[in-house]
Each structure stands twice: as C-alpha cells, then as structure tokens.
A = this chain, B = another copy of it.
Amino acid sequence: MPDAPVRPDTPATDRRTPVGGAPTAAHSAAEADEPRIDIAAVTGMLLGTWADTRREAREMITDSAFWGIDGLPLPEHRERVVEQLHLLVEQGASGRAYPTEYGGQASNGANLAGFEELVLADPSLQIKSGVQWGLFGSAIHQLGTKPHHDAWLSDVMSLKLPGAFAMTETGHGSDVAAIGTTATYDPQTEQFVIHTPFRGAWKDYLGNAALHGKAATVFAQLITGGVNYGVHCFFVPLRDDDGVFLPGIGGEDDGVKGGLNGIDNGRLHFDQVHIPRTNLLNRYGDVAVDGTYSSPITSRGRRFFTMLGALVQGRVSLDGAATIGAALAEYIAVTYGNQRRQFDSGSGTDEVVLLDYGKHQRRLLPRVAQTYAQYFAHDELLQKFDGVFGGTTDTPEQREDLETLAAALKPLSTWNALDTVQDCREACGGAGFLAENRLVGLHHDLDVYATFEGDNNILLQLVGKRLLSDYATQFRTADAATLAKYVVGQTAGKVFHGAGLRQLGQAVADLGSTARSVERGLRGDQQHELLADRVEQMVADIAERLRPAAKADQEQAAALFNANQAELIEAARAHGELLQWEAFTDALQKIHDEGTRQVLTWLRDLFGLWVIEKHLAWYLINGRLSAQRAAAVGRYIDRLCGRLRPHAQDLVDAFGFAPEHVRAPIASGAEQQRQDEARDHYAALAASGRAPTPEKALPQT
C-alpha cells in the first residue's frame, strides 16, 4: 500500500512566499503588487458545468484505495483495478449515464465529468471504467433496445457482467467498415453465427478481453439472405462463471503495454459461435425471424456513421482526461520550478529559481495557457454531448457537429498532453524521471490516447473533410448572384491578402516599434482574425487544388487527395485551435473580477500568440503578417511570460488539486525544505567562523 501523500507543512499561500534571501524576481502576484486571480473562482470556471460531480469524484479519490502503485507487477495491477471498479459501484459512480429505471441518473454530462477525473487516481482506472461503462455498456444502451437494456444494463452497472467492446481487429483499426468478422443469420436456428475467418479478423487490443470479460459487444458484418448489410453490433457471451471461454471462443493476452497495465487487453477469436437472433443490438438495424433485414436508416453510410457516432463519448472523455492529465503535470512542474534553485546568478548568495529563467518560463507557461484553453473548449464539448445524448438537442445536424467537434478537439488535447508531460518531465530533471513524481507514469498511460478511440490523424482528416464539404455547400446551395459575389469575394480576398497587413493594425505598429504599438496589433480581435483567416484560407486553397478531382477518375482523385492529405490535416488542426481560442475568449466574457480577467486575458493572449507563432511561416508566406510584425510575436510572448510569471503558481493552484491528487514528492514542498536546510547550514557555518575560504579569495601567488 502506498504511503499517505507528503503534505506540505506550510499552507499553500506560504509556500508561494520565497523564503530567505531576496528573490531573483517577483514570485507571486502578491509580491509583484499586481492584479491577482481569484483562485477559487477560477477553479470553479475550470471545473465547468458539472463542477459538483467533478468535486464529488475528486473527493472520492482522495482515498488511497483508488491510487495507482508504481512498479506493481502486471497481474496485481490488473486485479487492483478490478477492485477499484467495484469500489466505484459501491460509491454509485458507475451509472450516471444510464436510465433511471435501471438505477442510473440519466446524466450524460455528469457521467463523463466524473469519469474524467479518475485519471488523477490512475489512468488505468479511468480507461477500464470507460471500457466497462462507456464502451461495452454504452453499446448495449445506445445501440440496443429495451429488451437488451432490461436484460443487461443493471448487471453492467453493478459489474456483475464485465464486458469487452470488440470493434477493433488486428487487421483493421480506424477503418471499421472493413472489419473481417462476420455475423451470418441462420433462419433455421434463428441464430447469428459469429465468425473470425482469418487471423487479421481477430478482435484485438480489447480491455476486459484477456481476463475479466464475461461478454462482449462484437462488431461484425451482418449477413442475411446472402447480403452483407455492413457492420452491426452483437451481444456475445464469452466466458462461463469460472472464467472459461465458451465453446468456439478463444483468445490471447496482449501482454505488457506501454502503459495502462492495469487493464487486461487481449484478443478474441470466434469459430462459428451461435448466438440468439435477439442478441443483435437492433436500434439501427434488425433482422426478422425469416431473415428479412430492416433499418430506420436506409442509407448504408448514414446508418454506419450513426452507429459509430453513438460511441462518440469515448473521444469526448479522452479530451477531458487528457486535459486534466496535462494540468496535473503542469501543477507538478510549475510548483517545483517555483522552489527549485540552480546556478548562482552572480548577483548574490542565492541561486536562481528555475521559473525565473527565460527558457523555463517559455517552456512551461504557454503549456498552462494551452491547458486553460482546453478546459474551456472541453466544457463546451461536454455541454453539446449532454444536449445531444440527453435528447434536448438530438438532431442529425447537432450530432454531426458534436462528432466534428470531438474529432477536432481530442487530437489536439491528447497530443498536447504528451508534449506537456514530456516537457514537464524534462523540466524536473532526474527527479522527473522517478516514478514517484508521476510524470513518467502519466506519459506512459496517456501515450495511447493519441491513437485510440480514433487515430488522431484520421480524426483530423475527418474534420478536414467536413470543412471541405461545408465549404462546398456554400456553393451548391448558392444562386447565381451569390456565386458572382463569391468570385468577387475571392478577388477581394486576394487583394486583402496583400492589404491585410494594414487591417491588422500594422501600419500603426510599423511607425515605431514600441512594445505598446506592437501589442496593439496582436490583441484579441487580431488574434481571432489571424486564426480564423488561416482556417478559411487553408480550406479554400485545398478546395481549389482538389477541384480537378471532380472530373478525374477514382484513382487520380485519390492521388490528388493524398497529395493534399497532410495539409488538410493541418487545416483541421487550425480549426481546432481556433475553437479552443474562442472557448477561452468566451470564458473571459463571464469573468466579473477585474484582476482575474486581466490575468486570464494575458493568458489567453499567450495562448493565441503561441499558436500563431507555431504557424508563423504560414502567416508570412500568405502575407498576413509583415516580417516586422512576425518578429514581434516572439517578443510579445516573452513579455507575456514575464507578466504571467508571478501568477504561475496561482494559475496551477487554480486547477484545484489536493495533495492526494498530486502525490508527487517534488511538488510537496520538500524541495523548499531542502533549500531552507542548505541555506541554514551555510548561514550557520558562516556565523561560526569555520567556513572554508574559497580558493579564488586567496591572494594570487
């Protein structure tokens, strides 16, 4: 069992006060005599719409029974996580999404909010919960109908029925439509026959498959009457009560993984396994006793995407969990960077606090800004998800928007989590490499978030295609007048390309390069214009380049698309960044406290400019920024980092983590204690008169 977390001996506010010696810079907002954020209020903003559920979940996981243990051998880790799942059931935390008649709370938003916080306890717990209740249970709930709910939902919630979500195959991941597993209806026996006809069709990477799953929701090509109606989902019992595979079913353990080793991922294969006809989860497609297929959705494509879309919640929850994981890493690295000193500045006896180094600020503070943006964007995503799945805004358009939004945000936040955790790890040096300080474990566990529930590049490609189709729609529905206007608009756009510089206030700035005038041209409105313009221009450019595809054969069209694939993905990324920026900006509007608004506006600016800096070459090539203005972006970021530096601790304290969530000794105040002890030692030595003379102070011989 782990020890209790190291609790700092001093309260949080004292921890921020530099101890002994003059600080090398203002280390807290209090010292700097500057506006200060209302930490508790900001915590409330970050926790968002379902703050109460999040607080409840966080309170629950202060219990060490929920924590991961470093170095626990794989079999024990797996068992521990199963026990933790049972604890979740006991605490009533397993069924918030399910209908009230089965004991749930019918709150989709609260459900995901609660699960996302589990990443603080152990990402294996978060993901194993997601497998059981977010994937396996959700498939029954979302793709099944009342008889299925009656039969299984209560047992799913109570964990009496642990299950696997058997969609991915060894041979097919992102391309679900091409899976090889078949479910062939036999009207004689009124059964479906589940079969994996070759090794590549084995279901793979499934949580709960190696050990604990008693059943699985299996995706397979539905074949009846000699016709393949495409991918549908089936409830398939896997193991008997002794955990032995049922006849015709077998599997393998996926073994050790890069992380998430508390989950028993594995493979499954099916050799002509018979299941009742009624085990087809038949909300979107059914087979009658005589084998007749029917569906409320006639379009095969729309039916497929509707079924897959029912499972968007995995992506939504990864966006949230990755954001929380990044925040935890930042809390640890900023707190340590605020205490750890290294290298004498040459100006006194004290060494320099890490966070006073320009490079260290540049490394950590934009990441904090990015994470704030993600928190606000995620809350909007969660609201949309709750509206669609709760039924209040369940229209095909809203569903499509939800899927696009999730596909845009999940890649950005999961990649950012990895980059952030890695940077934080390195910023903590050797201490960051120790498992006890959490950072390496976070990287190991979150690594796969970038490719599961949809490979990030594939998701962004989907977003890109949506952007292209929206762009095309403008013209499909347009009459001649609109089209004419578009042509003019294009020309205007091109003129604007060149003249855009002025529009962005650069004429003002270029008169003199004072900091103030430069900033004037890079404030909120201009940031928005730069970010939004980039998306529009990129999409328009790609559409233009793809235009010949309409008249080409399929092969040529594919080649043309392939040649533009990387850029389409970039356009989708730009779209996601714009959404995050807008969410951050919307959040600013709701702040009444002046100090908070001021500091968070700086943070939003830092986020916006950091994004612009990443794409600076694009802005220059496309004439959206002059060389002088572009050069100013980096300097403005430096200034914002300096301005935000005294608020760094406030900003990460506002994530609202308790010591039981952090559990990293380096962020516990231990480093500060060591610094104090060393300083006291040298002071006492100097006072005693026994301190050795430095060689350099000797008279030269």
Contact = CB atoms under 8 A, between A and B. Distances in A.
Interface of A: 70-71, 73-74, 168, 170-175, 178, 180, 197-201, 204-205, 221, 223, 226-230, 254-259, 261, 300, 342-347, 351, 356-359, 362, 418, 422, 425-426, 429-436, 439-441, 443-444, 447-448, 450-452, 455-457, 553-555, 557-558, 562-566, 569, 613, 616-617, 620-623, 627, 630-631, 638, 673-675, 677-678, 681, 692-696, 698
Nearest to A692: B228
B173 A430 contact: yes
Contacts of A675: 171, 200
Contact of A435 (B199, B255, B431): B255
B422 A418 contact: yes
Given A255-B435, A258-B435, A681 B197 contact: yes
6 contacts: A172-B342, A228-B693, A254-B434, A255-B436, A347-B555, A617-B620
Nearest to A444: B444
Contacts of A259: 433, 440
Contact of A347 (B168, B554, B627, B696): B554
Given A359-B566, A696-B300, A558 B346 contact: yes
B566 A358 contact: yes
A674 B200 CA distance: 6
The 4 closest A-B pairs by CB, nearest first: A258-B440, A616-B617, A71-B256, A256-B435
A569 B357 CA distance: 12
Contact of A71 (B230, B255, B362, B569): B255
A292 B205 CA distance: 68
A451 B432 contact: yes
Contact of A623 (B435, B622, B623, B627): B627
Contacts of A623: 627
Contact of A227 (B227, B452, B456, B698): B698
A97 to B, nearest CB: 25
Contacts of A627: 620-623
Contact of A447 (B71, B433, B448): B433
A557 B180 contact: no
A565 B695 contact: no
A630 B620 contact: yes
Nearest to A622: B627
Given A435-B255, A693-B226, A558 B347 contact: yes
Given A358-B566, A359-B566, 14 more contacts: A174-B342, A175-B343, A178-B343, A180-B678, A197-B681, A199-B677, A205-B430, A254-B434, A346-B554, A347-B553, A358-B562, A358-B564, A426-B451, A433-B448
A182 B638 CA distance: 40
Nearest to A642: B563
Contact of A426 (B223, B456, B693): B456
Nearest to A70: B256
A257 B175 contact: no
A430 B444 contact: no
B342 A674 contact: no
Given A199-B677, A357-B562, A440 B434 contact: no
Contacts of A443: 258, 447
Contacts of A698: 227
B440 A257 contact: yes
Given A359-B457, A440-B259, A430 B168 contact: yes
A692 B227 contact: yes
Contacts of A205: 430, 433
Contacts of A199: 673-674, 677
A162 to B, nearest CB: 21
Contact of A359 (B357, B569, B674): B569
A202 to B, nearest CB: 9
A557 B562 CA distance: 53
Contacts of A451: 426, 429-430, 432-433
A543 to B, nearest CB: 17
A673 B254 CA distance: 19
Contact of A70 (B255, B343, B347, B436): B255
Contacts of A621: 616, 620, 627, 630-631
B173 A342 contact: yes
A433 B257 contact: yes
A359 B570 CA distance: 11
A246 B630 CA distance: 62
Contact of A300 (B71, B432, B695): B695
A620 B616 CA distance: 9
Contact of A695 (B228, B432, B638): B228
A255 B72 CA distance: 12
A7 to B, nearest CB: 18
